[in-house]
């Protein structure tokens, strides 16, 4: 019995010495992110402001829009162009110029911001240089090795053909836009022998091309030569190239500083975790805080001459496509809802349209 009481006393002594430790973890402030691409194409031009989500020992939050800011663009002639915040409830934190505003070749621009909190920011100057025009586009199917030696990646590579001007430093960037493709139901591929609903065997879907590569290039070693450059790559997920894929993108002439930022961004996006990867870099944009010069603002204000590009990619002109196909549906309108899986998304995805866009002209 005495031994039993001794054990209890020892346990009580140990428990009385334990004090809970409350770890205090500093949660970083939400940094400002600026996404702004001003081009010579017809407006309105767009600036998007957000606060990036901080991370700690656990997930803290999501990016939130920066609303009620004052946004203006100034050029080297002293002109000011005011941007107004979107009234669309689905696009908070997005600011638009007047519809008739577009950048001009040869002009230099600064982006100026004043947040609702009173903090002020200004960009480094960006000068718009003329972009050499693309005269043709070609495409082909390509295979890429992956970490899985049995399964390679299939995609479509788009090449632009253009003349680089001699004696001029040129920096190019190709920016993907929302693109549209035909979605085809193929129930026979599953062996169901079910015919698709008569109304809905062919639909249209619009999304951002994947993967999100940042393609940029300079003419340092090929000044004045005719160029054939890969400007886009779209991975074949078994759905995108069942019939026709319409790829839209911008052909841009950017500044040397913008080119460096884009190149480093793509380098970081391309990291795979291999020992051969370059070390992670702290990529600084061109936005500066007037209140705290040490504050790091993410993103970049880019002003560029632009050429809108569009190419229709036809399945029957590709040497190969991904097989087997991805999931097949009897009703193509249900594509997004089927992709939602168990329906955990509180917002029910819309049905896909069966009619093509008004400007569809393959």
Phi/psi region, residue 128 (left: phi>0; alpha: psi -120 to 50; beta: rest), is beta
Q: How many whole angstroms separate alpha carbon 114 and alpha carbon 291?
A: 11
E strands within the chain?
Answer: 32-39, 46-51, 64-65, 70-75, 80-85, 94-96, 108-114, 120-123, 126-127, 134-144, 153-163, 171-176, 179-184, 202-207, 215-218, 226-235, 244-253, 287-289, 298-314
Q: How many whole angstroms separate alpha carbon 220 and alpha carbon 111?
A: 29
Q: DSSP state, 268?
A: H
b/e 34-60 (16+ beta carbons within 10 angstroms → b): bbbbbbbeebebbbbbbbbeeeeeeee
Q: How many whole angstroms separate alpha carbon 184 and alpha carbon 179?
A: 16
Q: What integer pLDDT is reported at residue 275 of this predicted model?
A: 58
- HSE-CB for 156 with a 13 A CA cutoff: 31
pLDDT digits (tens, 9 = 90+) for 165-205: 999 999 999 999 999 999 888 765 555 556 667 788 899 99
Q: Please tell me whether residue 267 adopts helix, strand or coil conformation.
A: helix
pLDDT digits (tens, 9 = 90+) for 20-78: 545 444 444 678 999 999 999 998 999 999 998 665 544 455 789 999 999 999 999 99
Cα angle 263, 125, 77 (rounded to 5 degrees) comes to 145
Task: Pick the closest to residue 130 from 158, 110, 103 (CA basis).
Answer: 103
Q: How many residues does the chain have?
A: 362
Contact (CB, 8 A) for 143 and 152 = yes
Q: How many whole angstroms separate alpha carbon 273 and alpha carbon 314?
A: 35
Tell me: cis bond preceding 248? Omega within 30 of 0 counts: no
Please provide residue 148's backbone torsions phi and psi, each rounded to the nearest 5 degrees. -90, 110
**What is the chain's pLDDT, residue by residue, as a tens digit (362 residues)?**
555 455 444 444 444 555 554 544 444 467 899 999 999 999 899 999 999 866 554 445 578 999 999 999 999 999 999 999 999 999 999 999 999 999 999 999 999 999 999 999 999 999 999 999 999 999 999 998 877 766 788 999 999 999 999 999 999 999 999 999 998 887 655 555 566 677 888 999 999 998 878 999 999 999 999 999 999 999 999 889 999 999 999 999 999 999 999 999 988 877 666 656 667 667 889 999 999 989 999 999 999 999 999 999 999 999 999 876 666 668 888 888 776 654 555 578 889 999 999 999 99
Cα angle 181, 194, 313 (rounded to 5 degrees) comes to 15
Q: How many whole angstroms separate alpha carbon 295 and alpha carbon 115?
A: 15
Q: How many whole angstroms separate alpha carbon 338 and alpha carbon 333?
A: 10
Q: How many whole angstroms separate alpha carbon 236 and alpha carbon 142?
A: 10
The fold for domain 29-128 equals Immunoglobulin-like (2.60.40)
DSSP for 138-201? EEEEEEE--SSTT--EEEEEEEEEEEPPTTS--EEEEEE--EEEEEE--GGGGT--PPPPTT-S
Q: How many whole angstroms separate alpha carbon 273 and alpha carbon 66?
A: 33
Residue-range domain boundaries for the chain: 29-128, 131-284+304-357
pTM of the model: 0.84
């Amino acid at each position: 019995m005495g031994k039993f009481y001794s054990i209890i006393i020892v346990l009580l002594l140990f428990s009385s010495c334990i004090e809970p430790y409350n770890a205090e973890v500093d949660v970083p402030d939400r940094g400002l992110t600026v996404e702004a691409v001003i081009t010579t194409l017809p407006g309105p031009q767009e600036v998007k402001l957000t606060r990036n989500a901080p991370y700690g020992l656990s997930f803290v939050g999501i990016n939130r829009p920066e609303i009620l800011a004052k946004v203006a663009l100034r050029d080297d002639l002293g002109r000011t162009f005011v941007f107004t915040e979107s009234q669309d409830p689905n696009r908070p934190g997005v600011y638009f110029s007047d519809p008739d505003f577009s950048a001009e070749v040869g002009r230099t621009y600064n982006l100026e911001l004043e947040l609702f909190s009173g903090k002020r920011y200004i960009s480094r100057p960006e000068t718009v240089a003329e972009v050499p025009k693309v005269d043709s586009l070609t495409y082909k199917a390509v295979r890429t090795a992956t970490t899985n030696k049995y399964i390679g990646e299939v995609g479509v590579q788009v090449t632009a053909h253009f003349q680089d001007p001699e004696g001029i430093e040129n920096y190019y960037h190709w920016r993907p836009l929302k693109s549209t493709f035909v979605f085809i139901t193929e129930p026979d591929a599953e062996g169901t022998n079910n015919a698709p609903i008569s109304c809905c065997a062919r639909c249209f879907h619009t999304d951002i091309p994947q993967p999100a590569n940042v393609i940029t290039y300079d003419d340092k070693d090929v000044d004045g030569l005719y160029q054939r450059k890969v400007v886009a790559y779209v991975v074949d997920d078994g759905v995108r190239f069942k019939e026709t894929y319409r790829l839209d993108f911008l052909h841009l002439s950017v500044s040397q500083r913008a080119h460096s930022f884009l190149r480093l961004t793509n380098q970081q996006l391309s990291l795979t975790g291999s020992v051969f990867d370059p070390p992670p870099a702290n990529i600084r944009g061109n936005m500066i805080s007037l209140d705290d010069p040490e504050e790091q603002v993410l993103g970049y204000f880019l002003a560029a001459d632009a050429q809108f590009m569009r190419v229709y990619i036809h399945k029957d002109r590709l040497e190969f496509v991904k097989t087997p196909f991805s999931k097949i549906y009897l009703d193509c309108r249900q594509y997004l809802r089927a992709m939602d899986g168990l329906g955990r998304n509180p917002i029910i995805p819309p049905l896909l349209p069966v009619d093509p866009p008004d400007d569809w002209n393959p």
